[in-house]
Chain A
């Protein structure tokens, strides 16, 4: 559905986007993940025709955005980083304006009412956008993007600045929309891509540093699995016992507490779950577990390690 080939956008000496290539299949929800200024917005702006690329091409449904700008723009619904709202309009007027702007042919009244129902803004239809809270403005922005039922929807940081309840609402809304449409969204919040996307593209300094299915990304990138266990027991006997367990490749004390308990770090091969043997061993010796946390399943860690790796690679190339 979307095909991007060697896309580059240069600002003077700086590369905002540097030779990016990827494809998005029909019906996929793809997340662009990366720190601020990584090139996510630039890529999206090029895809929607707001910016042009220095080189490379972007195609939607087989049509090049530069050669067929109007046809491509008709297929795309776009929510930019700042929702493009006319504050002096009511929600209804605004959506009607976009309806006309996109030259829609669906039944106007039904279509707009349906969108408002989906995005949950029916009760603000007749209010001025100026008077709406940030969360509602964001939803009106989303409503604007889906007017005309575009086949592709591009959301630039859709949950930016919303409260936790609204974030959950918007995420489930995106999942709902993604059932029939192709969606690209960008975020710098990791749990968000995990919750919403089928596939993750990690972008750093204008380059794609990882492109994986969401369920694979953790194992694909980090080799070892790491547990943080807080155990109440004598350190001198607990540590050797932990090391003896089958599958454990590393164990050490991270922190000792005044009550005699300690925090241990245990690493195991990724395909072996050592939690059960550790539990039984500790139970046998009456060393209670105070807490247990799996590290390394954290996208935050993956993200940092991927970005670090890419940077180290770039440094060694120099």
Chain B
């Protein structure tokens, strides 16, 4: 497991993907932070900053996940992994952890760094700030597991990335669809899927167990589905 994790981490930095991720994430997040907190003066709002980060995921999460499984299939290296003494869940989980390290690492570092000027020149509510960080992290981890799942469905990283972009846009915007739908049942269903309404609890400084459970289950379900995709390929009869 550790071997696969280490290889994935190295792969991020021996290909342009890792650098692209870092460049885009650091550039856009610092730009947003400056715009919304440093230059905004009286209206400074870090909650808006964190909410906008969720929309940045549309670009940066697929960057991290697009190759994770599809590339292995294309290069046939999945044959090496699945015939080695490692479990399928071990393979999938190491890949998830690698992507999570990339995302979580850069996100938490920036969050800590940005907190310094906030507390120097203002009086931010630390609990609320931490709530935002935890919320964004959970959303990101859920999206990563969705990205891995989509990556396992294709050999083509471009299709994998595009599919993930679509899925993230859908989950982010699904609650705003509700304004246009009259049917109660569909509305309930759609708001049940919504990521943003779950995130709102954390952004308001609330530690909501059901929202936490929602994000953890998304990660778990899609990692499980990815393992099933591996299994299916093994057992396939067509």
Q: Is there contact, CB below 8 Å, between B85 and A50?
A: no
Q: Which of A49, A89, A93 is in CB contact (< 8 Å) with B82? A: A49
In the assembled complex, the Cα of A194 lies from the Cα of B79 at a distance in Å of 28
Instruction: List the A side residues contacting B83 at CB < 8 Å.
Output: 48-50, 73, 76, 78, 80
Q: Is there contact, CB below 8 Å, between A85 and B77?
A: yes
Stretch of A96-104, A235-243, A302-310 contacting B (4+ beta carbons < 8 Å)? A96-104
Given the interface pairs A50-B234, A97-B3, the reply to whether A86 lies near B75 with Cβ below 8 Å is yes
Q: Is there contact, CB below 8 Å, between A88 and B14?
A: yes
Number of A-B contacts (CB under 8 A): 74
Q: Which residue of A lies closest to B14 (CB)?
A: A88
Instruction: List the A side residues contacting B15 at CB < 8 Å.
Output: 88
Q: Is there contact, CB below 8 Å, between B76 and A80?
A: yes
Q: Is there contact, CB below 8 Å, between A11 and B3?
A: no
Instruction: List the A side residues contacting B237 at CB < 8 Å.
Output: 10-12, 54
Interface of B is mostly: helix
In the complex, A51 has a CB within 8 A of chain B: yes
Instruction: List the B side residues contacting A74 at CB < 8 Å.
Output: 85
Q: Is there contact, CB below 8 Å, between A102 and B84?
A: yes
Q: Is there contact, CB below 8 Å, between B85 and A103?
A: yes
Stretch of B4-12, B142-150, B214-222 contacting A (4+ beta carbons < 8 Å)? B4-12
Q: Is there contact, CB below 8 Å, between A101 and B234?
A: no
Q: Is there contact, CB below 8 Å, between B4 and A101?
A: yes
Q: Number of A residues whose C-beta is below 8 Å from B?
A: 32
In the complex, A206 has a CB within 8 A of chain B: no
Task: Please tell me the size bucket of the interface on B.
Answer: 20 to 34
Q: Which of A76, A84, A97, A98 is in CB contact (< 8 Å) with B79? A: A84
Q: Which of A54, A73, A87, A101 is in CB contact (< 8 Å) with B3? A: A101
Instruction: List the B side residues contacting A131 at CB < 8 Å.
Output: none
Q: Is there contact, CB below 8 Å, between A84 and B76?
A: yes
In the complex, B80 has a CB within 8 A of chain A: yes
Q: Which residue of A lies closest to B87 (CB)?
A: A70
Q: Which of A50, A52, A70, A88 is in CB contact (< 8 Å) with B11? A: A88
In the assembled complex, the Cα of A148 lies from the Cα of B149 at a distance in Å of 32
Cβ < 8 Å to B, chain A residues 36-87: 45, 48-52, 54, 70-71, 73-74, 76, 78, 80, 82, 84-87
In the assembled complex, the Cα of A34 lies from the Cα of B234 at a distance in Å of 23
Instruction: List the A side residues contacting B234 at CB < 8 Å.
Output: 50-52
In the assembled complex, the Cα of A78 lies from the Cα of B78 at a distance in Å of 13
Given the interface pairs A11-B238, A73-B85, the reply to whether A84 lies near B80 with Cβ below 8 Å is yes
In the complex, B34 has a CB within 8 A of chain A: no
Instruction: List the A side residues contacting B84 at CB < 8 Å.
Output: 73, 98, 101-102
Q: How far is the CB of A120 from chain B (nearest CB, A)?
A: 21
* A-B contact list, 17 entries, CB within 8 Å: A10-B237, A45-B79, A48-B83, A50-B83, A52-B234, A70-B85, A74-B85, A78-B83, A80-B79, A84-B79, A88-B14, A97-B6, A98-B80, A98-B84, A100-B6, A101-B85, A102-B84
